[in-house]
Structure 1
Amino acid sequence: MPLHVPPAPAPALRTVLTALGSPTAVHEARTPALRTAQDTASPELPLPVHVLDQITPAGVSATRLAGWRFLIRSGDRAVAAAETRLTPDGWAFSHFFEGPYIASTERALSQAEALPQSYQARLLSVPGLYMLTLWLHGDCTADGAEGHPAATDLLVPLAPAPPGIAAHRPLRVAELLPVLTLRVTPAPLLGSPA
C-alpha cells in the first residue's frame, strides 16, 4: 500500500533549501557525506518529528511537535538529514546531520511501503530512552503536525534501538507503549536493609 508523507510547511522547506544553497551552512555542517557529495543535494521525504514527553499512569502518551526532518538525497541515496524547528518567528533551519538513523529511516520507510494497509509516516522520539521510531499513523488524512499515537498505529524502532527492543520490528502502539512505560518510569527506591 502507498505510504503517505504529510506535506511539510512551505517555510520549513524553504529554510532547508536556503541552507543547502549556502556554501557556509554546508561547509560548516558536521556531515562529511554532505560536504563531499558529487551530485546535487535535495531535500526529500519530510517527516514531522513528534516527541513523547511523558506517558501517563493511564498509559496515555503526551506528544508534541518538535520540528520537521528532511532526508537529503544526493544521487541514489540519502547522505544526510536536515532538521527544522518552530520558533516564535516561524520555521527555522536547525542543523544538518548524518549517522545510523539516516539509513535506518530509509529502511523503515521501505518496510512500511510493503505493508498491506496505508499509513501516514511520522517520526516519534522518546528522549528518555534515546530512541527514535517511525510512527505509522492509521489516519492518512490527518494533519501530520498534530495528534497522538493511537493504540492501532504502528511504531517501527529505528536502529540503534535500546537494548531489549528489536529495531525494524513494527509493533502496535498498544504493544510497545507498556514496554516504554516500564523503561521510562524510574524504579522505586528501596529502603535500606535491616
Structure 2
Amino acid sequence: MPLHVPPAPAPALRTVLAALGSPTAVRDPRTPALRSAPGPLTPELPLPVHVLDRIVGSDRTAYTRLTGWRFLIRSGDRAVAAAETMLTPDGWAFSHFFEGPYLSSTERALRQAEAMRTPFQPRLLSIPELYMLTLWLHGDTDADASAGTPRPSDVLVPLAPAPPGIAAHLPHRVADLLPVMTLRLSPAPLLGSPA
C-alpha cells in the first residue's frame, strides 16, 4: 500500500464522533446527505489540512501551517460527506460537515495515489491565493503530519474544481507546479499605451 495515512490526533477524532453521535452537539445542521444516509456513519481517512499562506517561486521554500484534520464520512461503502476539525487555543474542536465536489475529487485523487508505486503520506494543501485545494503526497511517510513544507519532489494533485489553466487530477511535482502557480498570480503585462 503506497499511501501511509497518518493517524489523526485522538481529540480531533473524538470531536467528529461526538458531532456524528449528537445532532445537538454542533451549531450547524447536518448536510442533506448525512440526514438521509442509511446505516452507521463512520469517519475514515483522516487527512491533515495545511494552508500555503503565500505562493513563492521555485527558488524559495514554501511554508505551510496546519489548520485542521478532515475526515471522510462513510455510510456503507461510499463517502457521503466530510467533517473538518480545527485547532483552537483549547485543543481540537469540531468545525463543520460539508458535501460538494471536493468530496468525490478527494476520493478520486486518493485512488490515483494508491495506484502509484511510490509510498506517500497523503495530506491536503489549501492554496487560498488561487482558491485551490490539492492532495499533497509527501515523500517522507514517517514525517510528523502536522508539520513540514512541500519538498520539490513531493507530488500535488489539484482537486476539482481547479483554477483555470491548472488541470484537475493531473499529478505534478511541487518543483514543476509552483512556477505555474506563480505565473497565475503575476499581473498580465501591459501591451503598450495609447498614444
Normalising by the smaller structure, the TM-score range is over 0.9
**Ranges in structure 1 where 5+ consecutive residues have no aligned partner:** none
Supply the AA of the counterpart residue of 1:114: A
Please list, as runs of the form range in 1=range in 2, the aligned pairs for 1:29-178 lying within 5 A after superposition: 29=29, 31-57=31-57, 58-178=59-179
C-alpha distance in 2 between matches for 1:9 and 1:190: 53
C-alpha distance in 2 between matches for 1:67 and 1:186: 32
SS in 1 for 2:150: coil
Supply the AA of the counterpart residue of 1:184: L
CA, structure 1 residues 96+25, in 2 after alignment: closer, same or farther (shift >3 Å)?
Answer: farther
The offset of 1:75, in angstroms, is 1.0
Aligned residues of 1:59 and 1:181 also touching (Cα < 8 A): no
Q: Deviations over 1:17-74 (max 9, x none)?
A: 0000012357943510011111111100000000010133544212111100000001
SS in 2 for 1:61: coil
TM-score scaled by length of structure 2: 0.92
SS in 2 for 1:3: coil
Q: Which residue of 1 aligns with 2:5?
A: 5
SS in 2 for 1:134: strand
C-alpha distance in 2 between matches for 1:66 and 1:79: 23
TM-score scaled by length of structure 1: 0.93
CA, structure 1 residues 185+91, in 2 after alignment: closer, same or farther (shift >3 Å)?
Answer: farther
Matched, 1:183 2:184: yes
The offset of 1:193, in angstroms, is 4.5
C-alpha distance in 2 between matches for 1:15 and 1:25: 9
C-alpha distance in 1 between matches for 2:15 and 2:134: 25
Structure with higher strand content: 1
**Length, aligned pairs only:** 194
Identity %: 76
Q: Which residue of 2 aligns with 1:15?
A: 15
